[in-house]
Structure 1
Amino acid sequence: MSLKDWIQESNNIVFFGGAGVSTESNIPDFRSDNGLYKKKYPYPAEIMLSHSFYVSHPKEFFDFYFNQMIYSDAKPNKAHLALSKLEQMGKLKAIVTQNIDGLHQMAGSKNVYELHGSVLRNTCTHCQT
């Protein structure tokens, strides 16, 4: 049985995804040869994304965050659009994603669970705006 057959026969699909879904939208992943974890920074990328680094090095954290994590020109790609279509057809019940880019929602998906939050809902830790 092919993937296409499984999709056609199913009405209870949950999609689990991560950075690879958004690479076609020109958002780099983390672990590939061109990923964020392979690039040279003053500190390892996984450290620079940590809360403790944010607290101890806020300038470096925000420089990294705004230069490496925000892609305001990114648009949903064929994968995002196909998943949205499956949801509209009643086949896809949810998307569980590690992505923080909001592209699933931009493509029209409604039932999206973001494991790592979203860059679209940042708030100030001091004033909450």
Structure 2
Amino acid sequence: MSLTLVEQLKLWTDTSNSMVFFGGAGVSTESGIPDFRSVDGLYHQKYEFPPETILSRTFFKKNTAYFYRFYREKMIYLNAQPNITHTKLAELEQKGTLSCIITQNIDGLHQKAGSNKVLELHGSVHRNYCVNCFKEYGIDKILNTEGIPRCECYGVIKPDVVLYEESLQENIINKAIDAIKQADLLIIGGTSLSVYPAAGFIRYYQGNRLVLINRSETPYDSQANLAIKADLGQVFAALS
């Protein structure tokens, strides 16, 4: 990691009035939550079905009990704590520098760190609802039951997370696009930028301070004004 690059990033964060942070799974890996595509990620672990199949709308409907066995074991990390990236972003929000966090994560760690302006593109494990009557439930309903959790109306309870074959919520998409359009600094971190439509949001940025921070290269590195190949925690610790 080049100190010069981080110094440039610190200058930009110090002088920003409407910074937006767009984060992927790499934001939470340092909190002990595995990502999907790295060597140790969920896609490289062995299950009876591929994780992307288990986490699909079709599988949820046809194999709900198996879905929940996987979901409870591999998608919920209530003991995870915010790391330096989460806490630094919360500080930047409190200073009035950060206008919005757009996250692909469902773990709620940004809110746990104190951030309030969070757009969750893929939902949250902390919210759940009955597919019949739409009554809302917290995470305890999932953790304190076995097999398929059911509503008092006996409808199946579904996590409020976006599964494969499902669309992102239109109102969340619109808010994310508006925030990116108005940003004077856009930092994208911890994501390979390979999942659409979220990866396509980058094209709505109209400024000249586009920063990409990721351990590996992304398809958009050449478009960035600043590309830092490093762990997010290492970069955000240097901003403190």
**What is the deviation of 1:38?**
0.9
| Residue 54 (str. 1) matches residue 60 (str. 2) | yes
Q: Which amino acid aligns with 2:124?
A: S
Structure 2 residue matching 1:2: 3-state secondary structure: helix
Match of 1:103 in 2: 109
1:124 deviation in Å?
Answer: 2.9
Measure, in 1, the Cα distance between the counterparts of 2:132 and 2:72.
19
Instruction: Could you list the structure 1 runs, at least 4 aligned residues long, displaced by more than 4 angstroms after superposition.
Output: none
Does residue 4 of structure 1 match 2:21? no
The amino acid of 2:28's aligned partner reads S
**Residue 43 in 1 paired to residue 61 in 2?**
no
TM-score, normalization by structure 1: 0.96
Alignment TM-score, normalising by the size of structure 2: 0.52
Alignment partner of 1:74 is 2:80: yes
Task: Quote the Cα distance in structure 2 between the aligned partners of 1:66 and 1:86.
Answer: 33
Q: Which runs of 5+ in 1 are unaligned?
A: none
SS in 1 for 2:99: strand
| 1:125 shift after superposition | 2.2
Q: How many residues align?
A: 129
User: What SS does the aligned partner of 1:94 have?
Assistant: strand
In structure 2, distance between residues paired with 1:26 and 1:126: 35
Which residue identity is paired with 2:43? Y
Q: Which residue of 2 aligns with 1:31?
A: 37
Q: Report what 1:15 is aligned to.
A: 21
Q: Which runs of 5+ in 2 are unaligned?
A: 1-6, 137-240
* Letter paired with 1:88: Q
Alignment pair present for 1:84 and 2:81: no
Q: CA deviation at 1:123?
A: 1.9
What CA deviation, in whole Å up to 9, does each residue of 1:13-42 have, x standing for no partner? Answer: 000001100011100001100001111111
Structure whose CA Rg is larger:
2
Identity value in percent? 57
d(CA) in 1 for partners of 2:50 and 2:34? 16
Letter in 2 for 1:20: G
Look up the SS of the partner of 2:37 in the other structure. coil
Q: Aligned-pair distance for 1:72?
A: 1.1
